[in-house]
């Protein structure tokens, strides 16, 4: 989750019947239908037809939270008029909690119907109790639908792995921008198939009049899709602006990207004030949904999107291809948090900084300016809370969460310097992340409490102490010591960093190994 202050044409078409994995009903699967043409009282009606579900009692759920956010949203609060049917007979339903319904006499269950309200209207200034709007949905008839599938579609307890079919009937002039494969050739209908509920939730959809651009970045097809409430067209300009960034990220990650498609979904609400702008973005494995509210300043928007894209696109490495079992088997009602936010967010943020200087998109001074800023900001947070404890308690420690982007990035910088020093420039964090991705990949999770030992076995045994001291422990980061080893002068407690004019040949060599430039 990133806060900022200041279609799918990928697949072939096929019939509705062809999308059903098992139309005989012998295997369990969800078959959802939504009509975007029939928005009533700002609510959409959802119909779920079931195949292969046989049980005397079932519990149907909506998530309490979703990957990428670290607070409770309770998406069930948007659900009303919930009914379960066995043919024409209505079955008994008991609401167990804000997110769960128990269905009795469920052996003959054939259909569930309910209405869904949206979480926000036009993206305006969020109130003090409004967080994570980029995980929620918004409906505006005949104009724009921001669809987070965790808001519209639920799952049965124990049924998270069942395949999910979704059919949207829609106005013909609205385009579905998403990384999900659209299997429909009909102008008024879109059809999507996800291998399970987790995959469905991982793919937001932006319905709007087409404003899209496509980029080919190595082996990856990138979609940029935009909506503005003024009708201004943005996609071509944004795509042109981020092309060089994405190309350099591809090279930085080893030339071949670990995804074949990626989507940037951008919702821009224009305000009249030039002194106020805000926004947020929620990353997914193959897409990012961005919400912005700002005055119409194309240069400012380009700056925001550039910074957002540079961070979010790196998530194709982690957590997509390097993640623990807690993420691979995410529990939407009672999630168990991984202890490795230092890597998922901290390493991603560090790569965002380091790539620019390594690839020559920025200077060493600009890089050090970012280090200064994070070092200074880190002082606002609890130094007695370790990064692993912050990760495990992220939902309870909301006031400390942002430190994963500060201390998390700086601890990864120290790790990079140390690895470069010990390997004599042959190995750093970018190599480490590529090797971890090759070892695990998107379909294999690591054990949460074993990662540090795995990294030590892949690199240097003594690096285990580094994690004990600075990631699991609360020893102050050795920022001054490590930076000075690389020929960086540290003044005023880290508030003034500069390249040393009297650096030794050894210091200059380490700096070159680390930053790729003198």
Residue tagged 């994405």 (tokens): 246
How many structural domains are present in the chain?
1
Q: Domain holding 354: CATH number? A: 1.10.390.10
Looking at per-residue confidence, does 465 or 312 come out higher? 465
Is position 164 within any domain? Answer: no
**Residue 239 structure tokens:** 């795509």
Place of tokens 């995804």: 259
Enumerate residues 6+ apart whose C-beta is below 8 A from 25: 51, 52
pLDDT, position 15: 33
Q: What residue has token string 């890089």?
A: 367
Given a cut of 90, whether residue 332 has pLDDT beyond it is: yes
Where residue 6 falls among pLDDT bands split at 50, 70, 90? Answer: very low
Token pair of 399 as six digits: 């006031």
Q: How confident is the model at residue 1 (pLDDT cuts 50, 70, 90)?
A: low
Say what the pLDDT of residue 488 is.
97
pLDDT-derived band at 256 (thresholds 50, 70, 90) equals: confident
The answer to whether residue 142 sits within a structural domain is no
The pLDDT of residue 69 is 86
Can you tell me which residue has the tokens 């202890």? 339
Alpha-carbon Rg for the chain in angstroms: 24
Supply the pLDDT for residue 185: 87
Smallest CA-to-CA distance from 460 within 421, 510, 514, 414 is with: 421
Asked if the model's pLDDT at residue 11 lies above 50, the reply is no
In a domain, 22, yes or no: no
For the residues 77-84, what does the mean pLDDT come to?
Answer: 98
Mean pLDDT of 257-283: 86
Residue 155 has pLDDT above 70, yes or no: yes
Alpha-carbon dihedral sign for residues 455, 245, 7, 280: positive
In the predicted model, is pLDDT for residue 19 greater than 80? no
Residue 46: the pLDDT is 99
- Note down the domain range covering 417: 325-515
Please give the average per-residue pLDDT across 499-509, as a whole number.
96
For 216, which DSSP code? E
Percent of the chain with pLDDT over 70: 93
pLDDT bucket at 345, cuts 50 / 70 / 90: very high
CA triple 129-404-264, angle to 5 deg? 70
Does 70 score more than 90 pLDDT?
Answer: no
**Which of 311, 293, 323 lies closest to 352, judged by CA?**
311
10 Å Cβ neighbour count for 130? 12
Q: What is the mean pLDDT of the chain?
A: 91
**433 part of a folded domain:** yes
| Over residues 110-136, mean pLDDT | 82
| 193-230 tens-digit pLDDT | 999 999 999 999 999 999 999 999 999 999 999 999 98
On the question of pLDDT at 251 being above 90, the answer is: yes
The SS3 assignment for 175 reads strand
pLDDT at 347: 98
* 289-313 tens-digit pLDDT: 999 888 887 777 777 888 888 898 9
Question: Does 2 have pLDDT greater than 60?
Answer: no
285 domain-assigned: no
Q: Per the domain annotation, does 79 fall within a domain?
A: no
CA distances from 259 to 264, 314, 390 (A): 14, 11, 30
pLDDT at 25: 45
Instruction: Tell me, yes or no, whether 190 lies in a domain.
Output: no
Please say if the pLDDT value at position 280 is more than 90: no
Residue 109 pLDDT greater than 50, yes or no: yes
3-class state of residue 98 by DSSP: coil
Those residues with Cβ within 8 angstroms of residue 263's Cβ, 6 or more apart along the chain or in another chain: 7, 8, 177, 178, 179, 222, 223, 224, 225, 286, 287, 288
Q: With beta carbons less than 8 A apart as the criterion, state whether 340 and 324 touch.
A: yes
The mean-pLDDT minimum among 2-6, 130-134, 195-199, 284-288 falls in 2-6
Among 98-102, 180-184, 312-316, 490-494, the minimum mean pLDDT is found in 490-494
* % of the chain surpassing 90 pLDDT: 77
Is a pLDDT exceeding 70 seen at residue 410? yes
Does residue 421 fall inside a structural domain?
yes
- Asked if residue 364 lies in contact with residue 499, where contact means CB atoms within 8 angstroms, the answer is yes
**E strand or H helix at 44:** strand 43-51
Mean pLDDT for the stretch of residues 83-105 = 97
pLDDT tops 50 at residue 23: no
């Amino acid at each position: 989750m990133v806060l900022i202050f200041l279609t799918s044409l990928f697949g072939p078409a096929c019939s509705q019947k062809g999308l059903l994995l098992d139309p005989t009903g012998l295997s369990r699967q969800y078959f959802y239908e939504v009509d975007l043409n029939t928005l009533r009282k700002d609510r959409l009606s959802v119909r779920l037809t079931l195949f292969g579900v046989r049980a005397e009692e079932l519990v149907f759920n909506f998530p309490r939270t979703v990957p990428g956010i670290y607070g409770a949203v309770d998406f069930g609060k948007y659900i009303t008029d919930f009914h379960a049917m066995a043919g024409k007979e209505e079955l008994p339903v008991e609401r167990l909690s804000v997110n769960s319904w128990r269905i009795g006499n469920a052996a003959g269950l054939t259909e569930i119907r309910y209405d869904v309200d949206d979480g926000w209207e036009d993206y305006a200034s969020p109130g003090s109790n409004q967080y994570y709007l980029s995980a929620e949905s918004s409906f505006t008839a005949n104009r724009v639908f921001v669809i987070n599938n965790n808001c519209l579609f639920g799952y049965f307890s124990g049924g998270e792995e069942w395949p999910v079919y979704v059919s949207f009937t829609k106005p013909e002039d609205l385009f579905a921008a998403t990384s999900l494969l659209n299997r429909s050739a009909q102008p008024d209908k879109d059809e999507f198939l996800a291998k399970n509920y987790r995959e469905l939730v991982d793919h937001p959809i932006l319905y709007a009049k087409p404003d899209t651009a496509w980029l080919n970045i190595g082996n990856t097809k990138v979609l940029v899709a935009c909506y503005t409430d003024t009708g201004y067209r943005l996609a071509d300009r944004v795509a042109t602006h981020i092309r060089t960034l994405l190309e350099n990220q591809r090279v930085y990650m080893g030339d071949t990207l670990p995804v074949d498609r990626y989507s940037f979904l951008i919702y821009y609400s224009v305000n009249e004030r030039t002194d106020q702008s805000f926004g947020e973005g929620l990353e997914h494995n193959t897409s990012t949904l961005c919400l912005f509210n700002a005055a119409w300043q194309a240069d400012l928007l380009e700056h925001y999107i550039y910074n957002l894209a540079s961070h979010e696109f790196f998530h194709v490495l982690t957590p997509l291809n390097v993640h623990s079992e807690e993420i691979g088997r995410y529990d939407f009602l009672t999630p168990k948090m991984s202890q490795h936010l230092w890597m998922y967010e901290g390493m991603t943020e560090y790569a965002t900084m380091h790539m620019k200087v390594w690839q020559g998109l920025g200077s060493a001074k600009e890089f050090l300016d970012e280090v200064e800023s994070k070092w200074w900001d880190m002082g606002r947070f609890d130094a007695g809370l370790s990064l692993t404890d912050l990760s495990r308690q992220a939902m309870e420690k909301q006031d400390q969460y942002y430190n994963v982007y500060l201390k998390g990035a700086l601890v990864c910088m120290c790790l990079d310097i140390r690895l470069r020093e010990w390997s004599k420039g042959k190995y750093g964090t970018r190599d480490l992340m590529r090797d971890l991705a090759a070892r695990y990949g998107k379909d294999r999770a690591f054990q949460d409490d074993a990662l540090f030992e795995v990294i030590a076995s892949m690199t240097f045994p003594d690096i285990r102490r580094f994690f004990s001291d600075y990631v699991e422990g609360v020893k102050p980061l050795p920022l001054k010591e490590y930076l000075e080893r690389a020929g960086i002068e540290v003044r005023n407690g880290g508030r003034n960093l500069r390249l040393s004019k009297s650096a030794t040949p050894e210091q200059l060599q380490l700096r070159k190994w680390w930053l790729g430039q003198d």
